[in-house]
A = this chain, B = another copy of it.
Amino acid sequence: MSEFDFTLETTAGRARTGKITVNGREAKTPLFMPVATKAGVKTLTSEDLCSIGVEALITNVYHLMMRPGVETIEGAGGLHDFMNWDGIIFTDSGGFQMIREGFTSSLDSDKVKFKSVLDGEVYELTPEKNIEIQERIDTDVAMCLDHCPPYPAEREELVESLERTSSWAKGCRDAGSIVFGISQGGTDLELREKSCRQIKDIGFEGYALGGLSIGEPVEDMYRMTSIGGKIFPDDKPRYFMGLGSPVDLLEAVDKGMDVFDSAYPTRNARHRSIFTAEGTIRIDKNDYKNDHTPLDPSCDCPTCENYTKAYIRHLCKSDELAWMRLTSIHNLYFILKLMKKSRESIKKGEFKDFKKSFIQKYEDG
Chain A residues packing against B (C-beta within 8 Å): 38-40, 42-47, 67-68, 71-72, 75-77, 82-84, 289-290, 292, 302, 306-308, 310-311, 313-315, 317-318, 320-322, 324-326
- Contacts A321-B43, A325-B45 known; A292 to B83 CB distance under 8 Å? no
CB–CB B83/A320 < 8 A: no
With known contacts A67-B314, A84-B306, A84-B307, A290–B72 Cβ distance under 8 A: yes
Chain B contacts for A39, CB-based, 8 A? 311, 314-315
A76-B311, A311-B76 known; A38 and B289 CB under 8 Å? no
Report the copy number of this chain in the oligomer: 2
Can you give 17 contacting A-B residue pairs, CB < 8 Å?
A: A38-B314, A38-B315, A38-B320, A39-B311, A39-B314, A43-B320, A45-B306, A45-B322, A45-B326, A67-B314, A68-B310, A68-B317, A75-B290, A82-B308, A82-B314, A83-B311, A325-B325
In the assembled complex, which residues on chain B have CB atoms less than 8 Å from the CB atom of A44? Answer: 322
Chain B nearest Cβ from A294, distance in angstroms: 11
Q: Which residues of B contact A321 (CB under 8 A)?
A: 42-43, 321, 324-325
Enumerate chain B residues within 8 angstroms of A46, measured Cβ to Cβ.
306
Question: With A and B bound together, what is the CA distance between A292 and B306 in angstroms?
Answer: 34
A322 and B75 contact, CB distance less than 8 A:
no
* Interface hub of A39, A46, A72, A311 (most chain B Cβ within 10 A): A311
CB proximity of A75 to chain B, nearest CB, Å: 5
- Is A38 within 8 A of B68, CB to CB? no
Is A310 in contact with B76, judged by CB distance below 8 angstroms? Answer: yes
- The distance from the CB of A38 to the nearest CB of chain B, in whole angstroms, is 5
Please judge, given known A-B contacts A68-B289, A292-B76, whether A82 and B310 are in contact too, CB under 8 Å.
yes
Task: Verify B318–A38 contact, CB threshold 8 A.
Answer: yes
Residue in chain B with minimal CB distance to A313: B68
Contacts of A320 in B (CB 8 A): 38, 40, 42-43
* Set of chain B residues within 8 Å of A326, measured between Cβ atoms: 45
